[in-house]
Structure 1
């Protein structure tokens, strides 16, 4: 044994193996290994909203009852296919969020459509993919799950359903604790009716044009959701500036960018509306959370 370790290159080989093992563990811990922290009661049993008393009117692109009205249109613009949902609710309680498998944790993931189905969501989009990171405020349906700030701008939705956008480094989660939702991704697209991005704005190392998911507010209880296809020959994808312009042109006073790329997914009445893709195949990516409208 002593003779084996007397050769310097053998020490180097052992060190290399340990280094590879550590690197592999870090990658697995970041992207694969699940860490369940909190099991959340299904929102379908929560008393946060009242079910519709009348039968809804439903078509392939619309839904309407006395509390929730949704209409979806598909447009071709900026060499991209864009899906625009106009949504009005009578109470902020109908704008909800949910975790994959009803579990808050690291790398706990499911398809947007599956999370939506578990909540009986009428309409859903992917959220901020909080489970991919260790920081960034997480407050969902009035409950705080993570209070460590990131460098992101956060979307704050108050108990009345009104949007505001804050810099997490400037405010504590304690000061936001009375709100309904806090999502952490960004950037802000529109604030107080003004476009907040320019032609050079982008998320991390993302491409200039991408599949996108974003949500905006027009007025009290009136929201706009935009999801775009991208990274295909049929649909190039949107820049952040193009996305912001679309929200502003449609009357939004606030708009906020959520996780995009391969995560971008819109679900309506149990069906995936758009064509989710990572640029290689058309398929849903599993994500950690959704934003949805429903009972």
Structure 2
């Protein structure tokens, strides 16, 4: 299967959408130059789009470390889609809903069990086909634009300006500060310390996609300790991801076999959400050798075959900056 974006896709840049998130900037009134300066800073930091690459499809087609001549060129045949799964000659996906507990202790989550013959079938997409900060779109919109059969919200890279960010074989950011997750072209997945390496070293070793959120949940098949006290961001924003929350996690069971998990929450009697340790236990229960936490809360979204499968806690999808997906026909 070719990993380079088709020329037609590269030429069709979606019209920009400029959705603005509202933030409370002060009390009943903002008075004085200092307050005005703070408001301007907050708008620039959290609201105003900052586009660095305005046509990601074309950029990746020109710069990806994995080209159509070095990746699998096999085309999927025997494609079958059902309400709960997808199979082809190259890929299989099965979707399962799991509920545990009862009453106020009920937890409901969704598992996408994925087996791919070409690891580059797991791809990333950015909102509005643009790279930068504060650029957002609905996961369903991104998935539809990229012909996905399956998609899950990503790490909301656009909220922060640090971390190591490699997507579809292209380096976008190289500022290691936390534990990350790396998907390799040979199918294996690792959680790693971003501060111990750099983006070019990872790319040279065959990394296809990285994620920078966290924390890492599972390593060597064991739940990592201290994960309920981790702070992901050191900048202004959501410092803490603690407590019982909706969650999104990715895990690897073996080379080319992955699980995407979305846990619903904040809805008593249907799903309360889970702690970080409970999420890690879900991942080990699925057989994961390694697993990693992604952006959660209202962002947690699992999309399959044209519809959102889970029940996002906001009552509907929340716009975010990126998704991971598998294309129809992979």
TM-score tier (shorter): 0.7 to 0.9
Distance 1:177 1:253 in 2: 22
Q: Which runs of 5+ in 2 are unaligned?
A: 1-29, 62-66, 232-238
Deviation digits for residues 168-187 of structure 1 (CA, Å, limit 9, x no counterpart): 12222232123111110011
User: Unaligned 5+ residue runs, structure 1?
Assistant: 1-14
Query: Rg bigger for which structure?
Result: 1
Conservation of the 8 A alpha-carbon contact between 1:201 and 1:241: no
Instruction: Tell me which residue corresponds to 1:77.
Output: 100
Contact 1:111-1:285 at 8 Å conserved across structures: yes
Q: Partner of 2:315: helix, strand, or coil?
A: coil
Alignment match, 1:9:
none
Q: CA deviation at 1:81?
A: 1.0
Kept in 2, the 8 Å contact 1:193–1:253? The answer is: yes
Distance between the aligned counterparts of 2:81 and 2:73, measured in 1?
A: 19
How does the TM-score come out when normalised to structure 2?
A: 0.79
Aligned match of 1:266: 302
Q: Find 2:220's aligned residue among 192, 196, 200.
A: 192
Aligned residues between the structures: 277
Q: Does the aligned pair in 1 maintain the 2:165–2:173 contact within 8 Å? A: yes
Alpha-carbon deviations, 1:191-228, whole Å to 9, x = none? 11111145744554234111110110111111111101
The separation in 2 between residues aligned to 1:166 and 1:145, in whole angstroms, is 18
* 1: CA distance, partners of 2:227 / 2:172: 34
Q: 1:99 aligns with which of 101, 123, 126?
A: 126
The within-5 A match list for 1:167-186 is 167-178=193-204, 179-186=207-214
Q: Deviations over 1:230-271 (max 9, x none)?
A: 112221001111111111112111111111111100000111
Deviation of 1:19 after TM superposition, in Å, equals: 1.2
The equivalent of 1:4 in structure 2 is none
What's the C-alpha RMSD, in Å, of the aligned pairs? 2.1
For 2:72 and 2:321, the matched residues in 1 are separated by: 23
Distance 1:235 1:157, change over 3 A: same
Task: Confirm whether residue 22 of structure 1 aligns to residue 49 of structure 2.
Answer: no
| Farther off after superposition, 17-26 or 267-276 | 17-26
Whether the aligned pair in 1 keeps the contact of 2:171 and 2:200 (CA below 8 Å) is no
What's the TM-score, normalizing by structure 1? 0.88
Partners of 1:251 and 1:205 in 2: CA distance = 27
d(CA) in 2 for partners of 1:51 and 1:265?
30
Which residue in the other structure is 2:51 paired with?
Answer: 36
